[in-house]
Amino acid sequence: MIQTSVTPFKHKLNSPLTKQHITVLQVNLGKRCNLACTHCHVEAGPKRIEELSPEICEQLIEIICAFPQIKIVDLTGGAPEMNYGFKYLVEAAKLAKKEVIVRSNLTIYFEDGFGDLPEYFAQHQVRVVASLPCYLADNVDKMRGAGVYDDSIKALQWLNQVGYGKQQNLILDLVYNPQLAFSEKFSLTPDQAKLEQDYKVFLQEHFGIVFNNLFTITNLPVGRTKLHLEHKKLYAPYLQFLESNFNPKTVENLMCRDQLSVDYLGNVYDCDFNQMMNLPAKTREGENLTIAKLLAAGSLDLIDEIQTAAYCYGCTAGCGSSCGGALV
C-alpha cells in the first residue's frame, strides 16, 4: 500500500460535496479499443473484451426515454464505437431529443467495419469530442502509439469534409492531455483559451483543419496514469502537487455534480474516474446504485452526497478539469 500524505479531499471542503439535479448521463460502453494509450484511465485496449450487454443497453434506452431531465447522453469507452449498443444508444437518444456526445479516438474510422462513422455522426448530428493530446506529432505518438497522429489528422480532415467544425449543428471539439510526468517537475494544464488558439492556428496552417473548442484535461492518477506514476515513484508527490494547487472556485462547477456515470454492467457512479476506481455512487441509505434501481425508483435524483477520493484534487487543481475542459 503506497502511503500518501494528502488531506482527505472531503476535509478540504467547507461542506459535503452534494449532487445537483441530474442532467448528464455518461455511459462507458466497455473497454474494447483499437488503441492502448499510455495515459488511459480506463486501461482499454485491443485485448479487452468487456462491453455492454443487450439487457443493460435496453435499460439505458429506457432511462434515456423516461427522463426528460437528461439533456446530454455522453458515450465513452474504450472506443465507444467498437462496443455493443453504440448505435442503438445514439439513435434512441437523438429520437428523445438529447444532445449526444461521442468521445472518439479518431483512428477507429480506419479500422475494418468503422469507415461509415464520420458520415453516420453527421447524419445524426452527434457532437464529436476527439482526443488529440498535442498538435505536434511526436508528443501524440509517444502517448498513443506510432502513426496515431497521422491517422488523427486524416480523420479530422474527413470530419471537416462532412461538415464538422463548419456547420452550426456539427460540433467538433478536441481534447488536450499533458504528457505523463517522469520527474517531480509537475505542471498544470496550460491556459485553455490560449492553447486553443495555438491548436487552431497550427492545424489550420499545416492541414487546413478547423474545429470548435479545445478542452484541457488534467491527467488524474487513475488507471494507466496511476500505474506509470507508481512505477516512477511519483504517485504520492503528484497527489501532493495537485493538492497544493487546489482551487476552491472549481468546486461549484465539478462535472460530478449533475452527472451520472454508468458502466457496461449497469452500475452507477458519480464520475468516470470513480467508475475506474470502483467507488460506486450511494443512495441516501448507503446502497450502491444501478440503473435498474433508478428505473424501479422512477427517479435519477437518489444521491445526496458525492463519493470522493484523493484523485479528486486532479479535477480541482488550477483552473479545474472536467470532460468539458477547464472549470474556471
Is residue 96 one of the residues assigned to a domain?
yes
170-200 pLDDT per residue, tens:
999 999 988 888 999 999 999 999 999 999 9
Q: Which residues make Cβ contacts (< 8 Å) with residue 315, sequence separation at least 6?
A: 218, 220, 250, 254, 255, 256, 273, 321, 322, 327
b/e burial code for range 27-53 (CB count within 10 A of at least 16 → b): bbbbbbbbbebebbbbbbbeebeebbe
Domain count within the chain: 1
Is residue 2 one of the residues assigned to a domain?
no
CA distance 47 to 181: 26
CB atoms within 10 A of CB 233: 10
Q: What CATH number does residue 310 fall under?
A: 3.20.20
- Is residue 28 within a helix (H) or strand (E), and if so which, with residue range? strand 24-28
Is residue 36 one of the residues assigned to a domain?
yes
Is residue 161 one of the residues assigned to a domain?
yes
Q: How many CA atoms lie within 13 A of 34 on its CB side?
A: 18
Q: How many CA atoms lie within 13 A of 238 on its CB side?
A: 27
Is residue 328 scored above 50 in pLDDT?
Answer: yes
Ordered alpha helix ranges (H), 18-147: 54-66, 86-95, 117-123, 137-144
- Mean pLDDT: which of 139-143, 159-163, 217-221 is highest? 159-163
Look at residue 141 in the predicted model and tell me its pLDDT: 78
- Is residue 102 within a helix (H) or strand (E), and if so which, with residue range? strand 99-104
Is residue 1 one of the residues assigned to a domain?
no
pTM: predicted TM-score of the whole model, two decimal places:
0.95
Is residue 214 scored above 90 in pLDDT?
Answer: yes
Give the CA diameter of the chain: 56
Residue 22 belongs to domain spanning? 7-324
Burial category of 137 from C-beta neighbours within 10 Å (exposed 0-12, middle 13-18, buried 19 and up)? middle
Q: Taking all residues of the chain, what is their mean pLDDT, rounded to a whole number?
A: 94
Look at residue 241 in the predicted model and tell me its pLDDT: 97
17-54 pLDDT per residue, tens:
999 999 999 999 999 998 777 667 777 787 888 899 99
Evaluate whether 164 touches 170 at the Cβ level (below 8 Å).
yes
Q: Which three cell numbers stand for residue 267?
A: 452500475
DSSP string, 259-315: EEEE-TTSBEESSHHHHHTT---B-TTSPBPBHHHHHHHT-S---SB----GGGHHH
DSSP string, 178-239: PPPPSSS---PPPPHHHHHHHHHHHHHHHH----SEEEE----SSHHHHHHHHHTT-HHHHH
Place of cell 474504450: 78
CA distance 226 to 39: 9
Is residue 1 scored above 50 in pLDDT?
Answer: no
Give the pairing of strands 24-28 and 259-262: parallel
Is residue 305 one of the residues assigned to a domain?
yes
228-285 pLDDT per residue, tens:
999 999 999 999 999 999 999 999 999 999 999 999 999 999 999 999 999 999 999 9
Please report how the helices 192-207 and 148-161 are oriented relative to each other, as an axis angle in degrees rounded to 10: 80
Give the pairing of strands 99-104 and 72-76: parallel
